């Protein structure tokens, strides 16, 4: 191993040890069962703002170690750039954890995840404007066009069995275990070897495919592949700075496999609008009512509002902004895949699965993958391993984007296309 590689590998090992205790989402989560009392009070018309007490955290020693790692890394080397940005991201997450329960969380959250009024990649519309676009389209669609099968609910218990069977078939072994978790805020969450489903949640047939493509074949596979890396073990960790790319890649996987539906796009978009509402002063009950009015059940509305108010006071003016990354990440990843096709670099798209990294990382790491310092992914989702089909979809997307729908709609020959 070359000296500069060994130096940064040692720094990376230190960063992994330092970051292990920064379990941001777990520390910001609410205690289980809070929705029972709230929903009962709401039904009686006596609901009050939930109050959450967060244990005090002290990450001062961790932050000093992360600062030392960033200082010792070579900013001119791809591994050094990665370590500097990653260490600083973990440090911001640690600082956020130290102020849980206060409005100061919002500032750190925005530094990690952004906010709804930021423009999408390519200086397009803002994330909030995109969210309102998808909400509007979803509201205009006639839900009666959905097939009866799409209305059938699947219990968490039944879904667990179905997903476990599919994953065992994929790996030809028990590599990832699917379990039920009554304390989970989201409907599902994935680690390297375990996928958790929220007990008592109801899922649709679309949800099943979405969870398989999103949680298992992106979040779990990138973590498993990251564990295979001999130099950068941190590629197995869900660093906050990789969240936009990870969620964008996972949502893109839903899209490219036909697993996403307009209802899913609406749910993602409602969360972005809810974050914006909370930042503008809406409290928990107002955000909860927003989700109910948008058609979600009261149970799902509580869970959605809970996501927005993780770690912050529930009285309004503060928010946990992670949910803003989904649309921004999707646009970024979709654009990257199209760029890779145009530049004849589809290989970089596969390298995205070699661990949890950003779009900038995978481009910096190109010489490291080519030299064998970083290993290609051991596992790939089926849609990415079939390169010809992916290339065909992206090629059509590149061409179709040149056709302006507004020009067609305004032409006399619109019905002749």
Query: How far is it between the farthest Cα atoms of the chain?
Result: 69
CA distances to 53, 82, 107, 199, 201 from 311, in Å: 9, 28, 12, 22, 23
More confident residue, 98 or 121: 98
Judged by average pLDDT, the poorest of 191-195, 333-337, 410-414 is 410-414
Cβ-in-10-Å burial (0-12, 13-18, 19+) of 223 comes to: buried
The answer to whether 302 and 146 are in contact (CB under 8 A) is no
Give 268-301 pLDDT, tens digit per residue.
Answer: 999 999 999 999 999 999 999 999 999 999 999 9
Q: What does pTM read for this prediction?
A: 0.90
**If pLDDT is split at 50, 70 and 90, which confidence band does 404 have?**
low
Tell me the mean pLDDT in the region 33-37.
91
Helix (H) or strand (E) holding 337: helix 325-342
Q: Is the pLDDT of residue 406 over 90?
A: no
Place of tokens 């609406």: 266
| Of residues 74, 110, 72, 78, the one with CA closest to residue 92 | 110
Residue 63: predicted pLDDT: 98
**If pLDDT is split at 50, 70 and 90, which confidence band does 371 have?**
very high
- Which structure tokens are listed for 326? 């989904």
Provide the mean pLDDT of the chain: 90
Q: How far apart are the C-alpha atoms of 178 and 188, rounded to whole Å? A: 10
């Amino acid at each position: 191993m070359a000296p500069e590689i060994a130096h940064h590998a040692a720094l990376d090992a230190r960063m992994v040890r330092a970051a292990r205790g920064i379990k941001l989402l777990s520390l910001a989560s609410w205690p289980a069962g809070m929705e029972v009392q709230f929903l009962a009070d709401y039904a009686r018309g006596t609901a009050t703002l939930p109050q959450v007490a967060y244990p005090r955290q002290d990450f001062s020693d961790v932050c000093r170690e992360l600062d030392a790692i960033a200082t010792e890394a070579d900013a001119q080397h791809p591994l050094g750039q990665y370590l500097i940005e990653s260490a600083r991201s973990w440090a911001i997450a640690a600082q956020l954890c130290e102020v849980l329960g206060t409005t100061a969380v919002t500032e750190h959250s925005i530094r990690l995840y952004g906010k709804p009024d930021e423009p999408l990649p390519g200086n397009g519309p803002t994330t909030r404007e995109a969210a309102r676009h998808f909400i509007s389209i979803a509201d205009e669609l006639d839900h009666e066009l959905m097939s009866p099968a799409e209305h059938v609910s699947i219990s968490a218990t039944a879904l667990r069995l179905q997903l476990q069977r599919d994953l065992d078939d994929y790996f030809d072994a028990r590599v990832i275990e699917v379990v039920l978790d009554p304390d989970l805020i989201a409907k599902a969450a994935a680690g390297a070897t375990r996928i958790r489903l929220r007990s008592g949640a109801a899922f649709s047939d679309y949800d099943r495919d979405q969870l398989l493509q999103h949680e298992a074949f992106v979040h779990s596979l990138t973590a498993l592949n990251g564990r295979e890396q001999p130099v950068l073990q941190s590629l197995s960790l869900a660093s906050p700075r990789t969240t936009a790319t990870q969620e964008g890649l996972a949502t893109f996987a839903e899209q490219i496999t036909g697993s996403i539906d307009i209802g899913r796009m609406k749910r993602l978009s409602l969360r972005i609008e809810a974050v914006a509402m909370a930042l503008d002063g809406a409290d928990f009950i107002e955000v909860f009512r927003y989700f109910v009015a948008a058609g979600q059940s009261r149970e799902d509305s509580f869970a959605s509002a809970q996501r927005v108010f993780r770690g912050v006071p529930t009285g309004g003016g503060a928010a946990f902004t992670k949910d803003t990354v989904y649309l921004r990440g999707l646009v970024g990843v979709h654009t990257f895949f199209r760029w890779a096709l145009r530049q004849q670099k589809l290989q970089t798209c596969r390298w995205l699965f070699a661990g949890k990294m950003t779009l900038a990382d995978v481009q910096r790491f190109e010489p490291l993958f080519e030299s064998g310092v970083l290993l290609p992914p051991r596992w790939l989702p089926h849609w990415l391993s079939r390169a010809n089909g992916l290339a065909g979809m992206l090629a059509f997307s590149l061409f179709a984007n040149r056709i302006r729908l507004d020009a067609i709609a305004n032409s006399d020959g619109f019905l002749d296309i």
